Amino acid sequence: MRKILIVLMPLLLAACVDDSASYYADGPVGNHALTIHRAQKHFWSKEARVELIMQRLPDCMRRIDLTEMPADEVEIELLSGGDNVWTLRAGSEMWQIETQTCTLYPDVKGDGGELMGVFRDDGGKFVYEAAVIETVPADTK
């Protein structure tokens, strides 16, 4: 029986989701990043634990559990309020953080700010997609 379990274990673990995507506030080689990590505890579970890892080195490094949601439906918007204040929004749930002192605020204040992008599942791979900012040409007279 033990040999059968050992042989089947990789197949059981193959269906698990355990990945992350990052937004780099100061460019891809910087020390200021927000990472969303999603992980299923068991292969039969449809729910994934979603957590935020925020870092602004050397002053800030913190992991915060956010919520649980279906693994293939994780979609979290990232908004910037300026001054290292960030808001994460998933449906009706919202979290506001500040990376200067690694703080999770108890309540979200304001509208969250400017949309920076979205963390989401893209065909089984978890990615961060930057928001497309369209400029509106000024009327010329």
The predicted-structure confidence for 64-122, as pLDDT tens digits, reads as follows: 999 999 988 999 999 999 999 999 999 999 999 999 999 999 999 888 999 999 999 99
Burial of 136 (0-12, 13-18, 19+ CB in 10 A): exposed
The CA distance from 136 to 29, in Å, is 31
Tell how many helices (H) and how many strands (E) occur in the chain. 1, 10
For residue 118, what are the CA distances in angstroms to 9, 30, 101? 34, 20, 24
Single-letter residue type at 74: V
Neighbours of 93 (CB within 10 A): 13
* pLDDT confidence band for 9 (50 / 70 / 90): low
